[in-house]
Each structure stands twice: as C-alpha cells, then as structure tokens.
Amino acid sequence: MPRARVVGKFIYLRPLEREDINDEYLNWMNDPVTIPYILGARFPVSLGDLEQYYDETRKSRDSVMFAVCDKETGVHIGNARLSHIDWINRTAVYGRLIGRAEHRRHGYGTDTLIQLLRYGFHQLGMNRLWAPVLALNEASLRSNDKVGMKREGVLREYAFVNGKFWDAVVFSMLRPEFDEMYGGPEKWDDASK
C-alpha cells in the first residue's frame, strides 16, 4: 500500500498524485450516473479543468484530497476530500466519490467515509465534520446513516438537478461521537481488520 495515510477494511487513502489525473478520472467526472450527485460538477469537465483543480487543491491549506484505492489491488477507485477546513473552529466539509462502478454499493464508500473521518479527527484535530447530501442520492444517505452520521436538518431546494430542485440533508459528526463508535487513535492499528 504505497503512500497509504489511512487504511480501512476495503480501501486505503493516499495522496492524490498528478498521474491520477487521467482519462478514467475524467470519465468519472463526466459520468451521467454520478454527475447528479456531485454538487460541483454541473458543467462538462475537461482534463485541463481537472489539472487546474488538482493544482489549486494541492496548494490550498483549507483542503486535503486523497485517492481512494482498493486495498487488495491498489487500484485507484475514487477520491475523498476534506475542504473548507476552519482551523480555528476545527470544522471541515467532507466529500467522497467512488468512481469505478464495480466498487459502488459494496461498502467501499462507507469504509472511505470512516477513514476520512478518522483522518480529519485524529490527524487534523477537527472537532466537527459535515456535508450536505442531496436527497436524490439514496446510496449516500444510507451510507451516512450506516456510518452513524447525525442528520442535522434539511436545506430546502438546495440544488437544481435534472430539471428539478432537490433538498439536501445535512449530516455531521463530532469527534467524541466518532471516538465512541470507532475508537480513538489507539485503535488505528485495528481499523483495517
């Protein structure tokens, strides 16, 4: 698991590298199946757009981006990130995308979220991690519930997707809640078992 920062049951998170910006990643960002769920992907995305996004994210101190890799094969299957990091209030917004269709709905997204939370709480010292999830994204709603995220409320008619306005459910977790469910840093060695 080269450059692995966090290891889970099915995946590991490693830094996103320039060589990860390729045709497969470009296809994920233009996939009509995933586009409705990605709030920032309303317009066609080019390879140049992805390279610019990578450069901006890499230089940013309020965002961290990971490649999500299959633990067995090492294949890059998606991305995960923490953004809008507020270093004073210790909050950040999380996001994840399992780009490879064959890895969706098999626990990879759930494992990715747990490991991303673990990194945010135990490595970055965050106290609250949160995200809006569109109500039409049933798989993400289930995954967030499964991880133990708290539903804080609803942002009414938050996004315009496929000719209709959709609500977004706001999910969050606090570090003490995470530690109670998944253990503190001393449990890291056991996380991948």
Question: What pLDDT score does 37 carry?
Answer: 75
Listed in sequence order, the DSSP H helices in the chain are 23-29, 47-59, 108-118, 138-147, 175-182
The token duo for 172 is: 């969050």
pLDDT for the residue numbered 34: 76
Q: State the CB neighbour count (10 A cutoff) for residue 116.
A: 26
Report the alpha-carbon distance of residue 35 to residue 29 in Å, rounded: 7
Please state whether the predicted TM-score (pTM) of the whole model is above 0.85: yes
Question: Please, what sign has the CA dihedral across residues 23, 28, 32, 38?
Answer: negative
- What is the rounded distance in angstroms from the CA atom of residue 26 to the CA atom of residue 14? 19
Per-residue pLDDT of the chain (193 residues; tens, 9 = 90+): 667 788 999 999 999 999 999 888 888 888 877 777 777 667 788 889 889 989 998 888 999 999 999 999 999 999 999 999 999 999 999 999 988 777 777 889 999 999 999 999 999 999 999 999 999 999 899 999 999 999 999 999 999 988 999 999 999 999 999 999 998 887 765 444 4
Q: What is the pLDDT of residue 164?
A: 92
Gap between the Cα atoms of 173 and 117, Å rounded: 9
Q: How far apart are CA 193 and CA 190, in angstroms?
A: 6
Q: Which domains does the chain have, with CATH numbers?
A: 6-190 (3.40.630.30)
> What is the structure's pLDDT at 141?
94
Number of C-alpha atoms within 13 angstroms, CB side, residue 48?
A: 0
pLDDT of residue 86: 97
**What is the distance of C-alpha 191 from the center of its chain?**
18
pLDDT at 23: 86
Q: Is 33 exposed, middle or buried (0-12, 13-18, 19+ CB in 10 A)?
A: exposed
Q: What is the pLDDT of residue 107?
A: 87
What CA–CA distances, in Å, run from 121 to 44, 130, 131, 147? 34, 12, 15, 15
8 Å CB contact between 173 and 114:
no
